[in-house]
Amino acid sequence: MLLVIGRTFSESLKNFVRNGWLSVAAVTVLFLSLFVVSLLFVVTKTADGILKNVQEKANVSVYFKTDVQEEAILKAKSDLAGYSEVKSVEYVTRSQALENFKRNNADEPVIIKSLEELGDNPLLASLVIKANDPAKYEAIANYVKEASFKDDVSRVNYGKNKEIIEKLNRLIGETKRIGLSLAILFAVISILITFNTIRITIYTHKSEIEVMRLVGASNMFIRLPFIFEGIIYAVIALILSTLFVFITLNFIVPQISSVIPKEIISTAFTGNILYLLGIQLIVGAFLGVVSSMIAIRRYLKI
């Protein structure tokens, strides 16, 4: 068996080299399919990462009027903590809010200065609520508006994050759709081209195949070189595509790191590299082997 695999494999290597440009075409288009699949994978993983990031930061802030006593706020806090959708409630006092504000704007002397000139603390005490499920923020906000302490509430703040989350969800859906149709398109083209390449290999080896049959070579021995040829295409395409995804990311990540945190993209790639290679291997081998099989079925009479 090992002998058969060795002999047929070296035969397929020879075919690969002799086919020249045909091999290049087959590998290129297989590579493109895999590349699109990989990029799609990295982009959706990154978008997922961003989404998760934003969702973690999402909350509902309930601001209380300045004349509300602390006991009333604490009472509201325990009330909210009892609500089933709420994961946690954090009380931010007016002075804490001021400190946070100062820290966040430490780079903006104008703001700090105008704050000092104001003399009084203009910020409101608030409860920061996190939900178990990001989709439930609206429900929580509505709950607050109907709650017993609703008259103490100055305003409820949750809208902003909701928009971002929705936008991201749409973006992910869109990328997945476009990417998937591109991947399918390339997959079809690569099957056609690989199939054709192997068909031509079979044709140019007509006399060899005839002789092999006459001398009683097993069907496996006759077929294997063509299947190996498909696998060789796939493996080379896989190596190229992984390399190119890596290069592309190295090129793109610094450019967009101001918009998207670098770690999210890198973890989307490195954290899933085995998974990515696995997907590529399955897709590549599938395309390569399926194309060879179709060609063998149609053109290799045994």
Residues within window 210-239 making contact with other proteins, judged by CB under 8 A: 210-219, 221-222
Q: Which is nearer to other proteins, 66 or 219 (CB)?
A: 219
Q: Which amino acid is at 262?
A: K
Return the residue of 4, 106, 135, 188 that touches other proteins, per CB under 8 A: 4
Q: Which is nearer to other proteins, 106 or 211 (CB)?
A: 211
Does residue 3 touch other proteins according to CB under 8 A? Answer: yes
Handedness of CA 101, 107, 112, 114 (dihedral sign): negative
Report in angstroms how near the CB of residue 1 gets to other proteins at its nearest.
8
Q: Which is nearer to other proteins, 82 or 216 (CB)?
A: 216
Q: Exposed, middle or buried: residue 236 (CB in 10 Å: 0-12, 13-18, 19+)?
A: buried
Count, in order, helices (H) and strands (E) of the chain: 11, 4
Separation between Cα atoms, residue 13 and residue 201, nearest integer Å: 12
| Element containing residue 56 per DSSP (H, E) | helix 21-57
**Apex CA 220: angle with CA 11 and CA 212, to 5°?**
65
Does residue 204 touch other proteins according to CB under 8 A? Answer: no
Report in angstroms how near the CB of residue 263 gets to other proteins at its nearest.
54
Report in angstroms how near the CB of residue 302 gets to other proteins at its nearest.
7
Neighbours of 177 (CB within 10 A): 10
Does residue 7 touch other proteins according to CB under 8 A? Answer: yes
Task: List contacts with other proteins (CB under 8 A).
Answer: 3-4, 7, 207-208, 210-219, 221-222, 302
